[in-house]
Chain A
Amino acid sequence: MLDGGDHLQYNAFVSKFNLPSRKGHGMEEIIARFHQVVEDPYVRLNAWKKETGNKVLGCFPMHVPEEIVHAAGILPVVLLGTDDPIPLSDEYLQPFVCCLVRSNLHLGMSGRLDFLDGVIFPDICDSVKCVANVWKLHRPDSFYYHLLLPGKLTSPSSREYLRQQFSHLRTSLEAFTGKKITDKDLHNSIAVFNRHRALLKRLYDLRRSKPTLISPRDMGVIVAASMLMPKEEHNELLAQLIEKAQRAAKVSPVERVRIVLSGSLCQEPMEGFLGLLEECGAVVVDDDLYVGGRYFNTPVAENKNPIEALAERYYRGIPCPIKHDPTKDWGDYLVGLVKSSEAAGVIIIMLKFCEPHAFDYPLIKEKLTAAGIPHLLIERIHEKVPSGGLRTRVEAFIEILRKE
């Protein structure tokens, strides 16, 4: 539960890992704090847990209604995987599975996630569904929750089932903590998360108008950090950052190529890739990435039953390939995003072996082509530094856009 008293406990997260004081109090110092959060996050979270006595649940991407976890007084943390070496994954799984699932499996089996009080597995795809059961076989002594997300949103029965699943998550967490989750608790949590969404949206709006304000890499880190720390504290840092951002001039003297990033479902784009964009003289003006626009898109209604409201957010939001709903078209959405952000082109990041994305890609390509929007498809594999081949392709694409 989050009233003023509990809020103080969450404060410990940032203050504990304060940077030594720096000259000036510009945006850089705040952004550096976000970087600290994402650097070795599990070590920090483990220490924070011990100090505050709070529980932490790992949430596999995507679509876990974190507000419900938050309302239970538990910190939800998204399991973003890693691009560090993952040798253990090969002991449990063939390599023909996406690097998000494989890297999380490695982390889980290596013991580095043992500090978690449990894991929530949403049924978003065949890989997560099946690997969840491999995970449980080898790490049986934990709280596990399977979020049985319906595989379609097109019928009254499926929407009812989704509401049931969210209610069931609530009662399971109540049983886990021994504490009731009241509607008021849920409303409070929704308010915190909505504030978070509004702040990120504001930051994205500021960046769209002054694209060199925040680098692609830094924006990625800012969103990722929010998945690895209490939202309240992230909100505070965001508010401070936005205040400074509003005052910053940051208009580049050089013309930059305006890019929209799309996809990279479940996992952040490679760290090196975002840095590469900047090196090539591109700026990201918008995105529908999971660790990006997708995460904070669409607020939850605050004037109705909270479970209803959370379910409604799931029906809406950016079209997602795992949400079967023929009334939504990801291609059309992306075309709209490009137009509203006045981008020159799109870079689509597709995790290798991600079936849902791979089935949607041909349709997205068709829509982009019909709208005359150039795009580049990148297959994301498990690597930290972009290969030479990738570098060349990205440079060439940016060059083409620059000339147009």
Chain B
Amino acid sequence: MEVKIVPLKSHKMQQNLLDKYYRDAKDWEKEGKPIAWCSGVAPSDILSSMDILVIFPENHAVICGARKVSTKLCQAAEARDYSQDLCSYSKNDMGSAFLGKDTLSPIGGLPRPDLLLISNNQCGTITKWFETLSRHFQVPLIVIDSPFLHDGMDKETIDNALKYVKRQLEETAVFLEEFTGKPFDIDKLREGVALTGESARLYKEIMEMCKHIPSPITCFDLFIHLFPMMCLRGQKVAVNYYEKLKAEVEERIAQGISAVPNERFRLFWDNIPVWFRLKENATLFASHDACVASAVYPYNWCLTFAGLDASKPIESLAEGVVLPFLNHGIKYRVDFISKLVEEYSIDGLVLQASRTCKPFFIGQYDIATGVKKKTGVPSVLIEGDMVDSRFYDDARVLSQIESFFEVLESNAKLRKGR
């Protein structure tokens, strides 16, 4: 069945912005200006306020994954004795760094860092990955250590965690003054945090438009448009971008354009996208009249960044470190996702069990049963990985998805029959 999808015009805008970002980074490197590599949910704003360019190796891994060179980069890391079972984002990145000029990266690899800054709020693996980079590039590594918010944790413990992170940010500011030879500028940080907050709020508003039945865009579109919120934090260009994107999506609602022409099913995507199968997955779901209307992944940024109070930038950044989705226990995730299922009128959950991302796949069985118990909605668990194609079997996934749609179809018939 041919499916006519109206693509977002903003995809082109996204591509242009991405290309420009990496071109500018290369120029920055040539001019000898300081560059830092950061983990995805690190408080990178503190670096930007000191005129340090921030690069996100995870975004680079996404690009490599989407262009299907990631598996080979992982193998380059494995050739240097890094286990096949390790996080594929990390091996993509380390592999590319080890290969240097011979990297298979479609953008020719990343500019050399002068500094590394991470938070372990998304996983402990980030620390080990960046320790390797620190040794490889012989540059300092700053770790913003975030305690994990286990289920049932009391307010005092959470407050102590926030205080601890705040203290680390203050220590980092002192370090950065020495490192850059410049004074720490809290006003500049306020401005940057305000803009980070603004772009996250806009992103969240766009995401919420998917509550509209039928949805004007899918989460596959939202995944593609994560880039500015993650990599162009604190910049006016990201705010402008999301204003344009929001306008286009509003226009689609006004014109009655549905992302999936004959939307009959609305799905939820758990875990990281399978970056090398984004288009294929989007097409597969669309061919079943299914729109992925909600997903958990963007909440790692927009959940907390959208609430940033720029008047208290350090406290806000601390919240941005401790409170993202992934830094929570399993019961929290079940409740969070159940709420989204209700708000977005979801019919089924697709749980991508990323083989090499433990913080995301551990607890998925409980998410499936817990959400079903609360909302009655069924799930399918598909085995995959974010960028390593060796862990993704197309035929198997297709078969699992087809079976899942049989369940959804029969559920729909049952509802009609009442």
Q: How many A-B residue pairs have CB under 8 A?
A: 140
Contact B363 A130 (CB under 8 A): yes
In the bound complex, what is the Cα–Cα distance between A287 and B171 (angstroms)? 37
Contact in complex: A148, B361 (CB < 8 Å): no
| Given A126-B358, A130-B359, CB of A326 within 8 Å of CB of B128 | no
A133–B152 Cα distance when bound, in Å, is 10
Bound CA span A396–B212, Å: 66
Given contacts A97-B358, A123-B148, A134-B363, whether A158 and B168 have CB atoms under 8 Å apart is: yes
Interface residues on chain B, number (Cβ under 8 Å)? 50
A361 and B81 contacting across the interface, CB-CB below 8 Å: yes
B330 within 8 A of partner (CB): yes
Contact with B along A126-158 (1 / 0, CB 8 A): 110111111011000000001010111011111
Name which residue of chain B comes closest to A359, CB basis.
Answer: B128
Residues of B near A126 (CB, < 8 A) are: 123-125, 358-359, 362
Among B83-91, B240-248, B262-270, B280-288, which stretch is in contact with chain A? B83-91
Asked if B153 and A358 sit within 8 Å, CB to CB, the answer is: no
Q: Are A134 and B361 in contact (CB under 8 A)?
A: no
Q: How close is B149's CB to chain A, nearest CB, in angstroms?
A: 10
User: Is B184 part of the contact surface with A, judged by Cβ < 8 Å?
Assistant: no
Q: Mark A260-294, 1 if CB is under 8 A from B, else 0.
A: 00000000000000000000000000000000000
| CB <8 Å contact, A94 and B141 | no
Q: Does A41 contact B (CB under 8 A)?
A: no
Task: State how many residues of chain A have any CB contact under 8 Å with chain B.
Answer: 48
Residues on A with C-beta less than 8 A from B161 are 148
- Minimum Cβ distance to chain B for residue A62 (Å): 14
**Shortest CB–CB separation between residue B75 and chain A, in angstroms?**
15
On chain B, the residues within 8 Å of A220 by CB distance are: none
Asked if A358 contacts B82 (CB within 8 A), the reply is yes
Question: Given the known A-B contacts A146-B150, A358-B86, A361-B83, are A133 and B364 also in contact in the complex, defined by CB atoms under 8 Å?
Answer: no
Q: Pick out which of these stretches binds chain B: A23-31, A238-246, A348-356.
A: A348-356
Asked if residues B80 and A131 are in contact (CB atoms below 8 Å), the reply is no
Q: Are A137 and B171 in contact (CB under 8 A)?
A: no
Query: How many angstroms from the CA of A91 to the CA of B365 in the assembled complex?
Result: 8
A210 at the B interface (CB under 8 A): no
Q: How far is the CB of B170 from chain A (nearest CB, A)?
A: 8
Query: Cβ of B129: which chain A residues have Cβ within 8 Å of it?
Result: 359
Among A125, A321, A362, contact of B81 (Cβ-Cβ < 8 Å): A362
Is A365 on the interface with B (CB-CB < 8 A)?
yes
Would A96 and B131 be within 8 Å (CB), given that A130-B358, A133-B363, A157-B168 are in contact? no
Complex CA–CA separation, A143 to B256 (angstroms): 54
Residue of B nearest to A124 (CB): B124
Q: Which of B85, B127, B153, B366 contacts A137 (CB 8 A)?
A: B366
Among B134, B143, B157, the residue within 8 A (CB) of A152 is B143
A324 at the interface (CB under 8 A from B): yes
CA A18 to CA B61, docked complex, whole Å: 60
A225 to chain B minimum Cβ distance, whole angstroms, is 30
A345-380 interface with B by 8 A CB criterion: 350, 352-353, 355-356, 358-363, 365
**Interface check B112, CB cutoff 8 A:** no
Tell me whether A352 and B168 are in contact (CB under 8 A): no
B358 near A136: Cβ-Cβ < 8 Å: no
Task: Kindly list chain B residues whose C-beta atoms are within 8 Å of the C-beta of A46.
Answer: none
List B98-134 residues whose CB lies under 8 Å from chain A.
Answer: 120, 123-125, 127-129, 131-132, 134
B329 at the interface (CB under 8 A from A): yes
Q: Is A161 an interface residue when CB atoms closer than 8 A count as contact?
A: yes
Q: Is A315 an interface residue (CB 8 A)?
A: no
CA distance A98 to B208 in the complex (A): 39
Q: Which residue of B lies closest to A121 (CB)?
A: B150
B27 to chain A, nearest CB (A): 31
Shortest Cβ distance from residue A353 to the other chain B in the assembled complex, whole angstroms: 5
In the complex, which of the residues B80, B82, B132, B151 contacts A133, with contact meaning CB atoms closer than 8 Å?
B151
Q: Which residues of B contact A137 (CB under 8 A)?
A: 151, 330-331, 366, 370
B239 within 8 A of A: no
Across the interface, do A324 and B143 meet the contact criterion of CB distance under 8 Å? yes
Interface assignment of A164: CB less than 8 Å from any CB of chain B: yes
Determine whether B353 belongs to the interface, using a CB cutoff of 8 Å to chain A. yes
Residue among B83, B87, B143, B164 facing the most chain A CB atoms (10 A cut-off) = B83
By a CB distance below 8 angstroms, the chain B residues around A157 are 164, 167-168, 171
Minimum CB–CB distance for B330 against chain A, Å: 4
* Residues on B with beta carbons closer than 8 Å to the beta carbon of A397: none
Q: Which of B151, B157, B161 has the most CB of A within 10 A?
A: B151
A92 at the B interface (CB under 8 A)? yes
Known A130-B362, A358-B83: A151·B171 in contact at CB below 8 Å: no
- Contact assessment for B150 and A132 in the assembled complex, using a CB-CB cutoff below 8 Å: yes
A133 touches B124 (CB 8 A): no
Closest CB in chain A relative to B123 CB, distance in Å: 5
Q: A137-B366, A158-B168 are in contact. List 10 more A-B contacts (CB 8 A).
A: A91-B365, A93-B362, A126-B358, A134-B362, A137-B330, A148-B161, A150-B164, A161-B145, A359-B132, A365-B81
Closest 5 CB pairs of A and B: A359-B128, A133-B329, A130-B362, A358-B83, A362-B81
The contact sample of 5 A-B pairs, CB cut-off 8 A, is A97-B358, A136-B331, A148-B157, A151-B146, A355-B85
